[in-house]
Structure 1
Amino acid sequence: MKKYMNPNVDPCENFYEFACGNWRNYHDVPPDKITYDTFEIARDNLYFVLKTLLETQTKTQTKSHFNDKTNYHNLKDYIGENYQIFDDSDAIDKAKKFYKSCMNEDLIEKRAEKPLKKLLEELGGWPIITSNWEQSEVDLIWVLSRLRLLNNAILISQWIGPDIKDSNKHIIHIDQTTLGLPNRAYFLDETNSKPLKAYKSFILSIAKHLGAETSVALQDVDDIVDFETKLASVMTPLEERRNISQIFQRIQIRILIERYPYFNWHSYFSTILEREIDLQSTVACYCPDYIHNLLNLLNKTNPRIIQNYLLWRFIKHRTSNLDSRFLDSEQKFYHALFGIEKRPPRWKFCVSQTNTNMGMAVGALFVQNYFDENSKTDTIHITQEIMETFINSIEEKLWLDEDTKRLAKLKIKNMDLKIGFPDFLFNSTEVNLKYQDVKIEENFFFENVLSVLRHTNREGQKKFGLLVNKSQWNSPPAIINAYYSRSKNQIMFPAGILQPPFYHKHFPKSINFGGIGVIIGHEITHALDDKGRLFDHEGNLQFWWDNKALVMFYERSQCIIDQYGNYILPESNTTVDGILTQGENIADNGGLKQAFKAYKNWLTKNPEVDETLPDLDLDGPQLFFLNFAQAWCGKQRIESERNRIKTSVHSPGIFRVIGALSNSDEFSMVYNCSKNSPMNPVEKCDLW
């Protein structure tokens, strides 16, 4: 902690520089990353542990010999409606085999583009590489639904989730699409010509690897990007979609068919759900205008362009599963877009791929070998203390009426806590059954990914019509992250994040409350941020605020919007979007205040405890704020900085520190900051 501080800086002038000023002298952004910060260091530490575990021997050793001529993987099966596998063998062994298949670069090079090319043929062919492509042979709904079976939602985002009006039921949800570049501005803003040019070059390069003739491909690539630009233009901007109650519609499939007859909804849903769909079934729609405009666009577009675009979006996600030519093209694109200089080490890529694709199996391996149950218990206690503090703080809010207070406290009291990992990870039978429809072979990395994609899609779609199990874990344990679910009123802290500098069972409580405690408080506050406040204690979209309280909420949140909207990153001369980052900024401010109050309560109950650290002349409360700030020490590339400030809902780390601390009276008291010093302005934003 001490080596990262810059003691020459007055903490009341710029606490981020005081806490993190020397961090840059010890760390550069690695060539394979877009940013390097405390979270990335923790992630690297976790990945090294996972690598060691995944490289241990499987329980049942098998000899496998690759022979491409006797390849028993029929790629057509992966897009078949009735594709079923039953294999209840050891899931951890499957994860290790998946990792090994990813690490087998020689074989991946030998197989080259063959697996992808064969699959593209089964999907109706990619016109850009198919000289005799016939548009009459391809049906839009057929292709879209088959891609969704492989967990690719293109043109229309579709998933099964809790009904936001009745969170106990699973229904179909549909929304506008994602794009091949980070957001619609990349296609519509003329200042983004460089990334757009790199995107075209990326598509062309991949097409040539798959056998396209340059003379044909150039026009096809232009058509693909032109179509995607038109697609971006009919999408609603993110800032106009923040209030979910204003864009949400419940609609039966039969009505959907009546309103949008040019799209075969019945066939689409029946295929991806792998069952006949009832036309009375309810759909949650967040994009009626987009669907209308999308269908008009599709009606005016040449089928060749549509097929080229659909398969391109699928191919883009699969380039990382192929040989070095595809990886090099992908890397060149990411360099232009984010400034990344090289690919990560293969082992790190394969650990990430394995954890992404088989997260619960990897999580079981991790918690069985490394995770301390005492850490889970301790974190639960910290969480409960912060929740209690939060409830007491709500009672003290003079701007809230009694009814709104009561319902806000009810929401916090009913919050479901998920800390560390689900207990079933110690039951090998349950873990094995979770992956019983996944087939993993050491020689077939590409097919292994397809098998997991089918599994992931099936896991999601089979929830349709079922009651919501609000006790279910959805997050893999071995990750560095934390979540709040509005529909479940649930906070989740996976085991992976319970490590230094955020937490350690032997740290002083000041460090733990300033680290994981603030993160816990952050996630709790999401229950009452600009989006979370729309949902009640059971996770239902419901208006439960008194009108006067709501007006006060808007005034106080506007203060935060204006405050953060005035922050400018000097390196790239870019301004923070106060509206886009509103929810996270509210959560940062609330999380810091409630975690510190909980820590002070703990100190009152434990007055004899020594909270100091050797050779660091700071008391417990000062260490609390120092560790909070040092969680956000970091550097990022200019290209990444420009991208993230346009697209990320989180403010840059420096402003997450300065913004929350400058609103904290407690911080100013602890560090004795005079009135109107930069870190102690007279006018402060105060919400939670």
Structure 2
Amino acid sequence: MADRLARPSTDQESAPLLQETDGVRPRETDASFGDRVGGIAQEPLTPLTKVLLILALALLLLSSIFVGLFAGVQHKLNVEKGRHEGGGGGGPGETVTVTTTTTSIATSTEKTTATSTSVKTTTWVPVPVPVPTTPPKEETCLTPECIVLSASIFTSLDTSQDPCENFYDFANGGWLRANPLPADKGSFGNFEALAQQNKQVLQRILESKEFPSSSNYDEIILRKLRDFYSSCLNENRLDEIGALPLREFIQTLKKIYWNEADNISGSSKNLDDDKKSTDLTAALAYLHSQGIDALFSFDIEGDVGVDPNQMVLWFSQSSLGLPSKEYYSEKSLLEVYQAVIERLLLTISDEHNVPHLESTSVVMNEDSSVWPPWPWPPWDGDDDGDDGDNDHDHDKDGPSTNRTRRVHKLAKSVVRLERKLAEASLDLDILYQDPVATYNPVPLSNLTDTLSHIHFPTYFSTFTPRAFPEKVIITSPAYVESLATILDHVSPDVLEAYLVVRATLALSPHLGMGTKAWQAQRTLQEILTGIKKGAIGDRAEYCVSKVEESLGFAAGRYFVNETFAGESRKKGTKVITDIVKSFKASLPAIEWMDRESAEAAAEKADAIRVKVGFPKSPDTEDAASIAKYYDNLKVKKGDFFNNVINAVKSDQFKKWLRLGRRRDQATWEMYPSMVNAYFNPPANEIVFPAGILQPPFFEQSWPSYISYGAFGHVAAHELTHAFDSAGRLYNQAGRLKEWWTNSTSAGFQIKQDCIVKQFSDYTIDDGKGGKIHVNGNLTSGENIGDTGLIQAYRAWKVQYSTSRAAGKEKLLPGLHYTKEQLFFISFARIWARSMKPATAIQRIRSDPHSPSRYRVDGTVFNIPEFAEAFKCSKKAKLNPHMGDRCLFW
């Protein structure tokens, strides 16, 4: 290590080499010439002496140069003479005599000058000029950005790990030790860390009093953003209001459901009134207009079977109260879920016939119960196997015993209803990975006849679409039939309770943390994610997130101005386009793809639209258009609950406005500050927000091998999605059509089966001593996307010479790894992530992405260049036999 320590150079010395011990100079009259010279050297120098000494040194230096030049020329002449005369003069091993004359001048302070001349004859044996045996030393990047990057990489590594055995741990072990999982989060990694940094940028903008320009539109936008943010931060106001906004929302929902909308300010009918009628259509339309899923969902997307740019209606299953259908078979979790539902129903209802409250200034009294509200259930001796028909009064200070028992039964019925909906739902691997099975266009009458419980013309009128749909694309016809059967057999009271629970779970997070509704839903989240009970994250971070979700393109305008300057967009785009070129170049060499399919794949790659940084469209390009885009969104400083609802409602109506129109090619599905990217198959586009074009993914001054390893993998991943298990089924126009030959499709299927098996063998700990396997079918598309890393590696290699000549391939200081190794390290680092077991289980069941560890080790397992870069032995885990790799590209 000592040879790398910084040492001061000799020209930094400040102290004299010799120091006098007294003020008496020695006598010079009796001294010899050598003594006099020595004395001169020791006595203080006058200004004139200094000048003369400098001149003497300059003359001496020039004399040396001339002597050297003369000797070199003389040697060359002698060699040439020897060659012409047939002799070997000047050749290796032969002597050459050189005569030099040296003149020296000595000057003293007494202004006397001594000159001496000597003639010297030297016999010189010339030596052949050595040829370099190693490449020239690589330059090191010493910019602040490179130094910070080098330190970041150094601290993220765990060099006790063998990269050929556990590359994820090798690349991220140091980061994982230095970044323990926060108590309030179920998962935290480099994606989340960067998202936090982006939020801090937005937070400074939102908390500033300044306006970046004199534009009135910028002032309008920023006031709306800052009022939204401040309404979220005002926790005192949220505590003062309590659960009142949610109760009012639920009361409105109940009145609509029980067909009392014309008398919205009146009192609700009694639950036991058998003569009342229901209006499920209006209630669902009300919920869906607020972005709350229930029973089913609609989306507006292109007709991928006919014209991907013609926006049509898609009907699909609804989300569930629990993350996936597998949870509905776990008895212990269902008990928790049922208890949370009971708590919510009791909290938001009080007495069922609570009169409508006109003013949000009215404060509802909340019990000061201990948080968290466990253990559950709040009564003793209740057997989960019964219907709650016992007659015990265990809530002396709360609702009546009968109502408590009734809510208990309703909660059980809601769970039973959701379990049936879960059983009817498509498995996620089909929903996400099989676009052919989920494309079922039918006349709208097919849907209305089968699901006669909903009057769809009335439902559509809520959203006032410009074009009334004549057909609908159904993702699962079996779900429609099952839903109709379920609705045939569910009681109105249970259906009402289900709708109320769906609304309460969605909206209670927007209440104050002191409310029972917030606490109940929070308890469910703690169980599902494994986060510490009562651990609450930074409020400002949460509020910035809500601003992003609600006004993301408005906030993105100012985020981009702060973070996306210089040539970030240009250089980020170059990485992407280089990878597209690399992909096209690799197509002819793919053994499972024939020439016809390869040419078609190249056409699709050429047709992909690349969007980088931020949208440029009439809706989001300038302050005037952004202000107009959000003009209908009303924001109040002290009304966070309704600010969120209004924002979601605005988005829903904008979505429905697309029905019957042509696709707007300029639109984005992600806001600029988001740390993510996506591929949209019907639009055949890949999109990279400015939010992800930040360290540790990208920095415009980094060496290319880092950028192509980190952000290059993100870019290659999205590009490869166009050719994964689902994306490959869409042609270059985004149409769902078989455009590969049968032999190529068969060859791809073999590769897909390979990667499904590979990832299905991976497991995670369930936190209870057991193992859960990764769903290789659900994750196959994302795993194939990750294989695109090889395209990023090839793209980097192709541009290497040009990049090196431009000074973009310099080594990082203090890291003793090759550029190839650093390419793979930069890839692995972006996937560093800590996760609670409960969160990991939730993602295994519902997330089409594999766990981060396998996104790294499972990917390099299939890339021979990785094993070559790290000189892995043939027995290493990550250097398998070629026949065991899943080689796509």
TM-score, normalisation: structure 1: 0.92
Cα 1:160/1:418, change in 2 over 3 Å: same
Show the 5 A alignment for 1:237-248. Answer: 237-241=427-431, 242-248=433-439
The percentage of aligned residue pairs carrying the same residue is: 29
Deviations, residues 92-139 of structure 1 (Å, cap 9, x unaligned): 321111111111111111111112212222222599997824572430
Quick one: higher RCO (CA 8 Å, sep 6+), 1 or 2? 1
Specify the alignment match of 1:71 in structure 2: none
**Contact map agreement 2:344 2:501 (CA 8 A) in 1:** no
Specify the alignment match of 1:75 in structure 2: none
Residue 23 (1) aligns with residue 175 (2): yes
CA distance in 1, matches of 2:686, 2:420: 38
Specify the alignment match of 2:504 in structure 1: 315
CA distance in 1, matches of 2:295, 2:566: 44
Residue 3 (1) aligns with residue 155 (2): yes
Q: CA deviation at 1:89?
A: 7.7
Residue 202 (1) aligns with residue 202 (2): no
Residue 687 (1) aligns with residue 873 (2): no
Q: 2:234 aligns with which of 104, 122, 125?
A: 104
Specify the alignment match of 1:525 in structure 2: 720
Q: 2:447 aligns with which of 237, 251, 256?
A: 256
Residue 305 (1) aligns with residue 508 (2): no
RMSD across aligned C-alpha pairs, in angstroms?
2.1
Deviations, residues 480-507 of structure 1 (Å, cap 9, x unaligned): 1110101101111101111111111121
Residue 371 (1) aligns with residue 564 (2): yes
CA distance in 2, matches of 1:131, 1:337: 36
**Contact map agreement 2:766 2:841 (CA 8 A) in 1:** no
Q: 1:462 aligns with which of 617, 637, 657?
A: 657
**Contact map agreement 2:765 2:772 (CA 8 A) in 1:** yes
Specify the alignment match of 2:287 in structure 1: 147
CA distance in 1, matches of 2:222, 2:200: 17
**Contact map agreement 1:224 1:309 (CA 8 A) in 2:** yes
Show the 5 A alignment for 1:40-439. Answer: 40-57=192-209, 90-125=220-255, 132-133=270-271, 136-165=276-305, 166-187=307-328, 189=329, 192-212=330-350, 213=399, 214-241=404-431, 242-274=433-465, 277=468, 281-324=470-513, 325=515, 326-341=517-532, 342-423=535-616, 425=620, 427-439=622-634
Q: Which amino acid aligns with 1:599?
A: W
CA distance in 2, matches of 1:275, 1:295: 28
Q: Which amino acid aligns with 2:342?
A: L
Cα 1:606/1:149, change in 2 over 3 Å: closer
| SS of equivalent residue, structure 2 residue 154 | coil
Residue 676 (1) aligns with residue 871 (2): no
CA distance in 2, matches of 1:39, 1:260: 42
CA distance in 2, matches of 1:148, 1:88: 32
| SS of equivalent residue, structure 2 residue 688 | strand
| SS of equivalent residue, structure 2 residue 442 | strand
| SS of equivalent residue, structure 2 residue 686 | strand
**Contact map agreement 1:59 1:93 (CA 8 A) in 2:** no
Q: Which amino acid aligns with 2:438?
A: I
**Contact map agreement 2:257 2:278 (CA 8 A) in 1:** no
CA distance in 2, matches of 1:201, 1:50: 38
Show the 5 A alignment for 1:513-592. Answer: 513-570=708-765, 572=767, 573-590=771-788, 592=789
CA distance in 1, matches of 2:621, 2:437: 43
Of 319-328 and 388-397, more deviation after overlay is shown by: 319-328
Q: Which has the higher helix share?
A: 1
Cα 1:276/1:615, change in 2 over 3 Å: closer
CA distance in 2, matches of 1:268, 1:571: 43
Specify the alignment match of 1:622 in structure 2: 821
CA distance in 2, matches of 1:528, 1:328: 45
CA distance in 2, matches of 1:361, 1:372: 18
Of 416-425 and 382-391, more deviation after overlay is shown by: 416-425
Q: What are structure 1's unaligned runs of at least 5 residues?
A: 61-86
CA distance in 2, matches of 1:126, 1:223: 22
**Contact map agreement 1:124 1:138 (CA 8 A) in 2:** no
Deviations, residues 52-98 of structure 1 (Å, cap 9, x unaligned): 111112759xxxxxxxxxxxxxxxxxxxxxxxxxx998223211111
| SS of equivalent residue, structure 1 residue 528 | coil
**Contact map agreement 1:502 1:631 (CA 8 A) in 2:** yes
Show the 5 A alignment for 1:577-656. Answer: 577-590=775-788, 592-608=789-805, 609=807, 610-656=809-855
CA distance in 1, matches of 2:604, 2:489: 49
Deviations, residues 319-350 of structure 1 (Å, cap 9, x unaligned): 11112123322222111111112222111111
Q: CA deviation at 1:356?
A: 0.8
| SS of equivalent residue, structure 1 residue 635 | strand
Cα 1:348/1:602, change in 2 over 3 Å: same
Of 266-275 and 197-206, more deviation after overlay is shown by: 266-275
**Contact map agreement 2:250 2:503 (CA 8 A) in 1:** no
Q: Which amino acid aligns with 1:680?
A: N
Specify the alignment match of 1:666 in structure 2: 865
Of 48-57 and 253-262, more deviation after overlay is shown by: 253-262
TM-score, normalisation: structure 2: 0.71
Of 422-431 and 380-389, more deviation after overlay is shown by: 422-431
CA distance in 2, matches of 1:107, 1:277: 43
Specify the alignment match of 1:83 in structure 2: none
Deviations, residues 505-552 of structure 1 (Å, cap 9, x unaligned): 121111111111000000000000000011011111111111111110
**Contact map agreement 2:614 2:690 (CA 8 A) in 1:** yes
Q: CA deviation at 1:602?
A: 1.6
| SS of equivalent residue, structure 1 residue 540 | coil
CA distance in 2, matches of 1:584, 1:124: 42
Cα 1:276/1:494, change in 2 over 3 Å: closer
Deviations, residues 30-68 of structure 1 (Å, cap 9, x unaligned): 0111112111111111111111111112759xxxxxxxx
- May I ask how many residue pairs the two structures share in their alignment? 656
CA distance in 2, matches of 1:126, 1:329: 25
CA distance in 2, matches of 1:579, 1:567: 13
Specify the alignment match of 1:69 in structure 2: none
**Contact map agreement 1:339 1:637 (CA 8 A) in 2:** yes
CA distance in 1, matches of 2:508, 2:473: 33
| SS of equivalent residue, structure 1 residue 283 | strand
Of 458-467 and 226-235, more deviation after overlay is shown by: 226-235
**Contact map agreement 2:325 2:423 (CA 8 A) in 1:** yes
| SS of equivalent residue, structure 1 residue 465 | coil
| SS of equivalent residue, structure 2 residue 338 | helix
Q: Which amino acid aligns with 1:106?
A: N
| SS of equivalent residue, structure 1 residue 172 | strand
CA distance in 1, matches of 2:257, 2:591: 64
Cα 1:107/1:137, change in 2 over 3 Å: farther
CA distance in 2, matches of 1:369, 1:606: 28
Specify the alignment match of 1:81 in structure 2: none
CA distance in 1, matches of 2:176, 2:737: 47
